[in-house]
Structure 1
Amino acid sequence: MKGRASWIVLGGMVLLCLGFYGHALSAPKGGITMKIFCSAFKEGQKIPSKYTCDGQDVSPPLEWESVPDRTESFSLICDDPDAPGGIWVHWVIYDIPSDMKKLEENVRPERELESGIRQGKNDWSRIGYGGPCPPGGTHRYCFKLYALDAKLNLKPGATKDQLLQAMKGHVLAETQLMGKYSRQR
């Protein structure tokens, strides 16, 4: 099993996380481990071009399981840690109701969706999903799902940093799915 260590600042504390891609980064009390999956690609595999700037640039279908009992909402952030200028944010989506256990393919790029789901700005300053579009080489794309003990009621159009700030003290569990992509030039 391959993983990587990373430092996370959460609630003013610095935590060392040993994140194993495709597995929970943290487990709630009781030992239940939340997991996220995609039917279009497996952990560490190539993301099909349909979900990138080389294809239809639509969001992939995502599903999750084993969520903590006290979950009130979910948030999801997709970013590229291999971008030349630093981490590049591809998707910010939050206030996903606790009874939802998936996001269908091709989530519409709207500020507010049914059931009160809200989307934020990606690093192209657009609302919704912006697929992988690396300038060169193979990049990793991390879909990070957070189970929260509250609905955030953050206004639509929030940035990743605003979402992370609003989530402080509310994260019950988190998990991650990583896919890879390189341009087909």
Structure 2
Amino acid sequence: MIVKAPFKEGEEIPQKFTCEGDDVSPHISWDKVDGAKSYALIMEDPDAPSGLFVHWIIYNIKTNSLAENMPRKERINEIIQGENDFGNIGYGGPCPPKSHPAHRYFIRVYALDAEVTRKMSLEELREFISSHKLDSGEIMGLYKRKR
């Protein structure tokens, strides 16, 4: 499954989508998967000082794209968003420590053979994904703080 974002694989994430910009979620799209009842997306930074840092958890998506600037609400119609490692619901853009080299940000999309109708912790969602995954894809972008 091919995942598309406003940057290409391995390129810099535009500042607009980071803590130094508007900190809005990017438009993300992916290939439709036959038999998928829903999609889930997890965005993570494995280069964070504390280890794996979660920037976005969003699931029970019924289409094969997410609009730019998704509201930071737990529920958007059928879509459910979890808490990121900033402690907020929804998207939290790249914001690595100023002294660090560029961090890698992985956006992984999973096509699932079932819907997720209740709020889940990240661990519960990962378990659900492992039991219901039809296909997956990812895109990785880089970001280094400018200021």
Aligned equivalent of 2:24, options 46, 58, 65: 58
Q: How far has the Cα of 1:168 moved from its partner?
A: 2.8
Equivalent residue for 2:113, pick from 138, 143, 149 = 149
Aligned-partner residue type, residue 72 of structure 2:
P
Aligned-partner SS, 1:163: helix
| Structure 1 residue ranges without an equivalent (≥5) | 1-33
Q: Which has the higher contact order (CA 8 A, sep 6+)?
A: 2
RMSD of aligned alpha carbons: 1.0
Task: Report the Cα offset of residue 149 of structure 1.
Answer: 0.2
Q: Which one of the candidate residues 1, 23, 35 is aligned to 2:2?
A: 35
Q: Which amino acid aligns with 1:74?
A: Y
**1:159 & 1:125 partners in 2: Cα distance?**
13
| AA partner of residue 92 (structure 1) | I
Aligned to 2:71: 108
TM-score, length-normalised on structure 1?
Answer: 0.76
**Match for residue 138 of structure 1?**
102
Q: Which amino acid aligns with 1:143?
A: I
Corresponding position: 1:127 with 2:65: no
CA contact (8 A) 2:3 2:30 kept: yes
Is 1:179 paired with 2:145?
A: no
Equivalent in 23, 29, 34 of residue 69 of structure 1: 34
- Rounded Cα–Cα distance in structure 2 between residues aligned with 1:46 and 1:126: 24
Q: Is the 8 A contact 2:39 2:64 kept in 1?
A: no
Q: Does structure 2 conserve the Cα–Cα contact (< 8 Å) formed by 1:77 and 1:160? A: no
**Unmatched 5+ stretches in structure 2:** none
Q: Percent identity?
A: 46
Under a length normalisation based on structure 2, what TM-score does the superposition of the two structures give? 0.95
Secondary structure in structure 2 of the residue aligned to 1:166: helix
Q: How many residues align?
A: 145
Identify the residue that residue 60 of structure 2 maps to in structure 1: 95
